[in-house]
Structure 1
Amino acid sequence: MKAINLKSPKTIIALAVVLLALVAPAVIDNSYILQSLIMIVLYAYLACSWNIIGGFGGQFSLGHSVYFGIGAYISTLMFNLYQVTPWIGMLVGAVISGLLAILISYPCFKLSGSYFTLATIAFLHVIRLLITTQDKILGFETRGAQGLQVKWRNGGLLDMQFQDKRDYLYVILLLLAVVLMVSYYIRHSKTGYYLAAINTNQNAAESLGVDVTRYKLKAMFISAVFTAIGGTFYAQLILFLDPQRIFGADFSMEIMLFAVVGGAGTILGPLLGAVLLVPINELTRSYFGAQFSGLGPLLYGLILCLVVFFLPGGLLPNMKAFYKKHRNPEHRETKKALD
């Protein structure tokens, strides 16, 4: 068995996450800080979900908020109208989102590069316009642009509604752990190797017998399922669904941004990106408020440009490269002298 390197950036980040999961909920009692931590972990979860198709498969989808919104709306309608627990509504919304992802992605995967990305953006806008302009969809009242209120019941684990913010933090940390474990399994499985080949050179992978469409659809299904699950959690946390927000292009961009900045295609990169970038938006909104309402997205854009130009591949791969370069200076000096 391969020994764990306690000094590697990957191990350090993993240990920091475990420490946060164990310590933070127990020692923090400030509601604002707890809410901020919940949002950081939620965005990390969504970025990891996107990474399964966008990072491993190299298919840059900018329409993932569709699956997030569908998961949120389906579980909320089941909860409000039929008193179905969100844990069941979460699974129903996840399956429907995954099947819709396959239905939409199958023709879109015939496109490549930026054309696929543009197709996902177009799909997002079609769904957003449908939700915001129709008060009823398939006979269910969605209230259009007014948004949908999530009913508050007695609260508790069955309803996924808690008086204490710590309980929400425990739930989303558990979901994050699940998506990280699934990501690790995919990355080190045959599916992960095929996705890596597709990401590197799709035509070459296809010529070697890889069923490109099948594996991309498989990755998209898993990614959409996890994203929809995040939508249900968000609905029960916020208790209100604003279609302009959850079906918005900027929301999809944020999910993608955290993964790309942290390191798309790595397991912990999206987590790192969310941990570093989400607080920026929270701090700018807290200190500058409505006076500079667009400051957060502006800073996101600047950070993305800096990463693309100076740290291609994202922060985590460059941190690992820096560590490998400097971990044994004596060996480098000896090698240089021999050369």
Structure 2
Amino acid sequence: MQKRNLAMLGAILAAVALLPLVESDPYFLQVFIMIMLFAYWGAAWNIISGFGGQMSLGHAAFAGIGAYTSTVLFISYGLSPWLGMLAGGLVAGGFGLLIGYPCFKLRGTYFTLATIALLNVIRILVLANQTVLGFEIRGAQGLSVPWRGNSLANMQFLNKVPYFYLILGLLIVVLLASYCIKRSRMGYYLAAIKTNQEAANSLGVNVTRYKLLAQFISVFFTAIGGTFYAQFILFIDPQRLLGFDLSLEMAIIALIGGQGTVLGPVLGAVILVPVAEITRAHISGDLAALPVIIYGLALMLIIYYLPEGISKYLGRFYNKPAARRGEGK
């Protein structure tokens, strides 16, 4: 069944790749780019929180680290965002390991609260300072990414089609990585840790090692998404990119779609992101927080009616005909 699901996902992604050939409206492409970006972030979050059961609500911090690292290197040294993307991923990964080691000693709600505290500390430091380590970040004003011409090397394009294919490629990479992890020894160890950490430890699983490895991979991918976001928007707003709302969206998308599954973050993003993008585009003022309210309501409904997520429900529904055919033989 896993192979059939992977084949179905491949067919869907192949169909998505043809969309710019059918519809070139910038707003249409913008919505699909954001769907794939949040599916990407949800899949990255899922590696540590879905597979490993370590509920993080501070992952936006690592998206911000990736965005600021690549942008500062781009501005100060003219380093290509492609290299800055890797640098940001490694910096965020190292930071994730540094923070993860003491935080993984905490359990349940305490770990979640620690990730929220980490996000708030980083956001406050960025908002309160114009420079960090001698590099200008412009504090609460935000940091603009300079336009240096339509160029693949600079990851800057005049239309949205190249961004569409770039985030599609990144999404495919993180989904393949998720599939390989889930089917590997590491995936089985993470599942054991998620189910019963003490039992896994008593059976010889190096719990700390696999948590840190999952943390590094998750954080690395999240930071790369932050670089893409910065190059796509050409501006880093610390209130948005380092905000709790973004961390919550990453988590809710994976939870609604089905945490611990490969397809879950994609399903969650397809369902929630279009609604959020439409409301952001047409609603302002007192109702500007409506997307977050929608996310919260959707999460409550899913937890009550489909606690395992939409993907698990669809999987059971999808497998029923096969089961009936097997009974008829």
TM-score in same-fold range (> 0.5): yes
**TM-score computed with the length of structure 1 as normaliser:** 0.93
Work out whether 1:111 is the aligned partner of 2:83.
no
* 50-59 vs 283-292, greater mean Cα deviation: 283-292
Report % sequence identity.
53
Q: Deviations over 1:217-239 (max 9, x none)?
A: 00000000000000111111000
Aligned match of 2:15: 19
* Bigger Rg, structure 1 or 2: 1
Q: 1:146 aligns with which of 136, 141, 146?
A: 141
Aligned match of 1:285: 280
Q: 2:166 aligns with which of 171, 178, 192?
A: 171
Once the two structures are TM-superposed, the CA of residue 44 in structure 1 deviates from its matched residue by 0.6
Q: 2:267 aligns with which of 256, 260, 272?
A: 272
**Counterpart-to-counterpart distance in 2, 1:253 and 1:291:** 20
Q: How does 1:149-228 map to 2 (within 5 A)?
A: 149-228=144-223
Work out whether 1:74 is the aligned partner of 2:73.
no
**Counterpart-to-counterpart distance in 1, 2:183 and 2:279:** 39
Q: For 2:256, give the aligned amino acid.
A: V
**Counterpart-to-counterpart distance in 2, 1:101 and 1:193:** 22
**Counterpart-to-counterpart distance in 2, 1:160 and 1:269:** 29
Q: Deviations over 1:22-45 (max 9, x none)?
A: x11222211111111111111111
**Counterpart-to-counterpart distance in 2, 1:43 and 1:206:** 34
Once the two structures are TM-superposed, the CA of residue 12 in structure 1 deviates from its matched residue by 3.6
SS in 1 for 2:283: helix
Aligned match of 1:304: 299
Q: For 2:64, give the aligned amino acid.
A: G
**Counterpart-to-counterpart distance in 1, 2:255 and 2:193:** 18
Once the two structures are TM-superposed, the CA of residue 327 in structure 1 deviates from its matched residue by 4.6
Cα pair 1:70 1:93 within 8 Å, conserved: yes
Q: Deviations over 1:197-216 (max 9, x none)?
A: 10111111001000000000
Work out whether 1:260 is the aligned partner of 2:252.
no
**TM-score computed with the length of structure 2 as normaliser:** 0.96
**Counterpart-to-counterpart distance in 2, 1:191 and 1:227:** 20
Aligned match of 1:100: 95
**Counterpart-to-counterpart distance in 1, 2:269 and 2:315:** 18
Name stretches of at least 5 consecutive residues in structure 2 with no aligned partner. Answer: none
Q: For 1:131, give the aligned amino acid.
A: V
Q: 2:314 aligns with which of 303, 307, 319?
A: 319
Q: For 2:31, give the aligned amino acid.
A: S
**Counterpart-to-counterpart distance in 1, 2:29 and 2:269:** 16
Distance 1:222 1:282, change over 3 A: same
Distance 1:11 1:310, change over 3 A: farther
Aligned match of 2:228: 233
**Counterpart-to-counterpart distance in 2, 1:321 and 1:197:** 23
Q: For 1:28, give the aligned amino acid.
A: E
Cα pair 1:25 1:170 within 8 Å, conserved: no
Q: Deviations over 1:15-68 (max 9, x none)?
A: 2222102x1122221111111111111111100110100111011111111110
Distance 1:4 1:252, change over 3 A: closer
Q: Deviations over 1:281-337 (max 9, x none)?
A: 1122234343521221111111100100110110001111123335555777x79xx
Cα pair 1:101 1:224 within 8 Å, conserved: yes
Q: Deviations over 1:187-206 (max 9, x none)?
A: 11111110011011111100
Q: For 1:84, give the aligned amino acid.
A: L
Distance 1:85 1:250, change over 3 A: same
Q: How does 1:236-255 map to 2 (within 5 A)?
A: 236-255=231-250
Once the two structures are TM-superposed, the CA of residue 82 in structure 1 deviates from its matched residue by 0.8
Work out whether 1:131 is the aligned partner of 2:130.
no
Q: Deviations over 1:263-287 (max 9, x none)?
A: 0000111111011110011122234
Aligned residue pair count: 329
Distance 1:291 1:12, change over 3 A: farther
Q: For 2:268, give the aligned amino acid.
A: G
Aligned match of 1:56: 51
Q: For 2:298, give the aligned amino acid.
A: I
**Counterpart-to-counterpart distance in 1, 2:225 and 2:3:** 31
**Counterpart-to-counterpart distance in 1, 2:205 and 2:128:** 42
Q: For 2:280, give the aligned amino acid.
A: R
